[in-house]
């Protein structure tokens, strides 16, 4: 209730304050009508519930000017106009009117509609009760409309935005702000006051007001811009009443129209510029905030990545410890199983029946197979962590291949497969003998697994790369759609021999890693289904990689 009474009192007092500024005899037309701006601002600040205060203030004011019934009608339109303008603002924008040019344009459209309602309702009430001559209806309506519109333009933005832009308002008391006010005051006195030096009617001197007004809008914000506009409006109205300025005419109605047109267009121009400046500032603030947040987010992500990297380092350390432990804990019992099963097979501890021999053979083979898989997994882990031992030495390739074929021939005979070694001159290599042997052995092992007939051939020859070693078979071959799976970890090709062919799918992957990463070489293959496959490797004769020996 207190707010409602407060708004009613302010509405009434603001109207009485501008009463002396009327240029025409009609008591209903003023060059600027602040109550409309106060009404819309109160709705923006306090909401719809404040409307009774607007109506009470308008009714009390109009009863001092017109009879009771037209006073009620005019008070209703003075209330409905701002209410409709506020509804439009609420419906189509919820931002500060200076935040964007779109919000400012919507503000202009809203107050134009509100001014049309207040002016049309007011002049209709006066005309119905014969309080205005029929010949003056249009002229009075135009003056009423422009007066209300200027009131909306100059009063509402100040009251709505003064709290949110109090910092900008305080900057007005700086040296720059005082200089701007002095320039604006002197310009206003020259154009609309007694400081005029010559007749201004034929000169566009009002444009001299633009520099200080733009200065205020650009440097001090929208509230200062509107206050400057209000100062200019009051100065122009008062100066014209006192007989000064370029808008002085013999006909007061012409002076009123010129004043209202000037102040209205000047207000729209400066307010729109202020909105553009404000929008630019908001965009710059958002960009600055985004940049700061981006830096913060980058720092956060970098910190998280560093933490994740530290965790990975720790996991890698634990993995290394686990592998080192498993290397001992798994291989020791497996070696015992393999060793004791081998001893039992020799029947040194007593004779065995056929069934026992069969079971011991299976235990022995399974133990050796499991040991091979464990060694491969451990080797791959050490290779990826850079800890796989790589001992460079000079050795005879022919001797190495002969040694490999000796172990392979027995397995081939058991499957009814022939084996052949093709090597011309002996070649001496400088690289890790055991790793090369391991790689070729993987080729030979696969050739035996996937062959049922024919010959497995191991050949070696010099090449532009250094030396080229191939293992060829006449087995089942590989389908073209399976080529991409070769040399990949844990990939086992589907075939009709898959039941017989064991392994974890690590042999070729380990071979490729050893040849390409440790020996500076390359691997390749050729294969056709039911014809056979050839797997090869190329390595330099002398390995120039410096590798630290590790246990």
DSSP string, 103-172: HHHHHHHHHHHHHHHHHHHHHHHHHHTT-S-GGGHHHHHHHHHHHHHHHHHHHHHHHHHTTTTHHHHHGG
pLDDT of 526 reads 93
How sure is the predictor about 39, in pLDDT bands with cuts at 50, 70 and 90?
A: very high
- pLDDT at position 27 over 60: no
- pLDDT at position 285 over 90: no
Q: What is the mean pLDDT of residues 23-37?
A: 70
Name, in order, each residue with C-beta under 8 angstroms of 223's C-beta and a sequence gap of 6 or more.
157, 158, 161, 162, 165, 168, 169
pLDDT of 76 reads 95
> In this structure, which long-range contacts are made by residues 165-173, counting pairs with CB atoms below 8 Å and at least 24 apart in sequence?
165/221, 165/222, 165/223, 168/220, 168/221, 168/222, 168/223, 168/224, 169/220, 169/221, 169/223, 169/224, 171/219, 171/220, 171/221, 171/224, 172/220, 172/224
Q: What is the mean pLDDT of residues 257-268?
A: 85
How sure is the predictor about 533, in pLDDT bands with cuts at 50, 70 and 90?
A: very high
Q: What is the mean pLDDT of residues 151-166?
A: 80
The phi-psi region of residue 423 (left if phi > 0; otherwise alpha if psi is between -120 and 50; otherwise beta) is beta
Q: What percent of the chain has pLDDT over 70?
A: 87
C-alpha pair distances (Å), 125 with each of 29, 74, 75: 14, 7, 10
Q: pLDDT tens digit string along 442-469?
A: 999 889 888 888 999 999 999 988 999 9
Token duo for residue 346: 């020799």
Cβ atoms of 39 and 77 closer than 8 Å:
no
- pLDDT at position 551 over 50: no
Q: What is the mean pLDDT of residues 173-185?
A: 86
Cβ atoms of 472 and 533 closer than 8 Å:
yes
Least confident range from 71-75, 204-208, 492-496, 532-536: namely: 492-496
CA distance 62 to 125: 12
To the nearest 10°, report the CA torsion of 347, 351, 352, 354. 110
Least confident range from 43-52, 70-79, 139-148, 273-282: namely: 273-282
Q: What percent of the chain has pLDDT over 90?
A: 25
Phi, psi at residue 526, to the nearest 5°?
Answer: -140, 140
Identify the residue with better confidence: 349 or 544: 349
How sure is the predictor about 543, in pLDDT bands with cuts at 50, 70 and 90?
A: confident
Name, in order, each residue with C-beta under 8 angstroms of 367's C-beta and a sequence gap of 6 or more.
334, 337, 338, 341
pLDDT of 110 reads 92
CA distance 314 to 223: 60
Identify the residue with better confidence: 429 or 17: 429
Q: pLDDT tens digit string along 124-154?
A: 998 998 888 888 888 888 888 988 999 998 8
Q: pLDDT tens digit string along 201-257?
A: 556 778 888 888 888 888 877 778 888 888 888 888 888 888 777 877 777 777 888
* Whole-prediction pTM: 0.54
CA distance 196 to 463: 104
CA distance 83 to 113: 11
To the nearest 10°, report the CA torsion of 375, 376, 381, 385. 100
How sure is the predictor about 549, in pLDDT bands with cuts at 50, 70 and 90?
A: very low
- pLDDT at position 193 over 90: no
Q: How many CB atoms lie within 10 A of CB 240?
A: 23
Cβ atoms of 256 and 31 closer than 8 Å:
yes
Q: What is the mean pLDDT of residues 432-445?
A: 91
- pLDDT at position 66 over 80: yes
- pLDDT at position 500 over 50: no
Least confident range from 63-67, 265-269, 349-353, 518-522: namely: 349-353
The phi-psi region of residue 351 (left if phi > 0; otherwise alpha if psi is between -120 and 50; otherwise beta) is beta
Token duo for residue 383: 């290779």
How sure is the predictor about 328, in pLDDT bands with cuts at 50, 70 and 90?
A: low
- pLDDT at position 80 over 50: yes
- pLDDT at position 109 over 50: yes
Cβ atoms of 501 and 449 closer than 8 Å:
yes
Q: What is the mean pLDDT of residues 39-55?
A: 91
Q: Which residues pair with 522 in a beta bridge?
A: 538
Identify the residue with better confidence: 461 or 495: 461
pLDDT of 408 reads 87
pLDDT of 7 reads 92
CA distance 336 to 368: 11
C-alpha pair distances (Å), 114 with each of 67, 77, 89, 146, 442: 24, 9, 11, 11, 91
Q: Which residues pair with 461 in a beta bridge?
A: 468
Q: Report which DSSP code applies to 66.
A: S
CA distance 204 to 120: 33
């Amino acid at each position: 209730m207190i707010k409602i009474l407060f708004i009613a009192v302010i509405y009434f007092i603001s109207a009485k304050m501008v009463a002396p500024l009327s240029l025409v005899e009609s008591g209903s037309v003023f060059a600027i009508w602040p109550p409309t701006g106060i009404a819309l601002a109160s709705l923006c600040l306090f909401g719809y519930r404040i409307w009774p205060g607007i109506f009470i203030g308008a009714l009390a004011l109009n009863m001092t000017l017109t009879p009771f019934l037209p006073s009620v009608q005019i008070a209703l339109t003075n209330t409905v106009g701002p209410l409709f303008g506020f509804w439009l603002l609420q419906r189509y924008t919820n931002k500060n009117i200076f935040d964007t040019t779109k919000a400012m344009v919507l503000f202009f459209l809203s107050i134009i509609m509100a001014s049309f309602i207040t002016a049309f309702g007011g002049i209709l009430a006066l005309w119905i009760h014969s309080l205005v001559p029929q010949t003056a209806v249009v002229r009075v309506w135009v003056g009423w409309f422009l007066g209300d519109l200027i009131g909306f333009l100059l009063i509402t933005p100040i009251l709505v935005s003064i709290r949110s832009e109090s910092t900008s308002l305080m900057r007005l008391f700086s040296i720059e702000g005082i200089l701007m006010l002095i320039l604006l005051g002197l310009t206003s006195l020259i154009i609309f006051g007694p400081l005029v030096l010559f007749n201004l009617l034929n000169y566009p001197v009002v444009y001299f007001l633009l520099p200080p007004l733009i200065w205020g809008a650009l440097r001090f914000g929208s509230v200062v811009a509107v206050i400057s506009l209000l100062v200019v409006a009051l100065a122009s109205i008062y100066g014209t009443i006192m007989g000064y300025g370029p808008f002085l005419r013999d006909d007061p109605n012409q002076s009123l129209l010129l004043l209202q047109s000037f102040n209205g267009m000047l207000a729209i121009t400066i307010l729109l510029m202020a909105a553009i400046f404000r929008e630019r500032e908001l965009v710059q603030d958002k960009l600055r905030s985004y940049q700061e947040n981006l830096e913060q987010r980058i720092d956060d992500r970098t910190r998280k990545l560093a933490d994740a990297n530290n965790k990975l380092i720790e996991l890698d350390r634990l993995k290394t410890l686990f592998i080192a432990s498993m290397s001992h804990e798994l291989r020791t019992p497996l070696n015992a199983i393999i060793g004791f099963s081998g001893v039992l097979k020799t029947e040194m501890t007593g004779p065995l029946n056929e069934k026992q021999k069969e079971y011991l053979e299976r235990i022995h083979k399974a133990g050796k197979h499991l040991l091979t898989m464990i060694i491969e997994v451990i080797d791959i882990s050490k290779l990826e962590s850079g800890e796989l031992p790589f001992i460079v030495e000079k050795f005879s390739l022919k001797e190495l291949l002969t040694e490999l074929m000796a172990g392979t021939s027995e397995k081939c005979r058991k499957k009814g497969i022939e084996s052949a070694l093709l090597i011309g001159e002996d070649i001496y290599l400088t690289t890790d003998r055991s790793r090369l042997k391991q790689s070729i052995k993987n080729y030979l092992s696969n050739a035996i697994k996937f062959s049922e007939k024919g010959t497995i051939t191991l050949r070696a020859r010099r090449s532009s790369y250094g030396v080229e070693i191939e293992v060829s078979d006449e087995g089942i071959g590989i389908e073209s759609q399976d080529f991409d799976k070769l040399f990949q970890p844990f990939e086992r090709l589907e075939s009709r021999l898959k039941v017989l062919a064991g392994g974890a799918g690590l042999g070729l992957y380990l071979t490729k890693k050893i040849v390409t990463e440790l020996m500076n070489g390359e691997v390749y293959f050729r294969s056709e289904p039911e014809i056979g496959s050839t797997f090869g490797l190329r390595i330099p004769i002398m390995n120039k990689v410096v590798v630290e020996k590790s246990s």
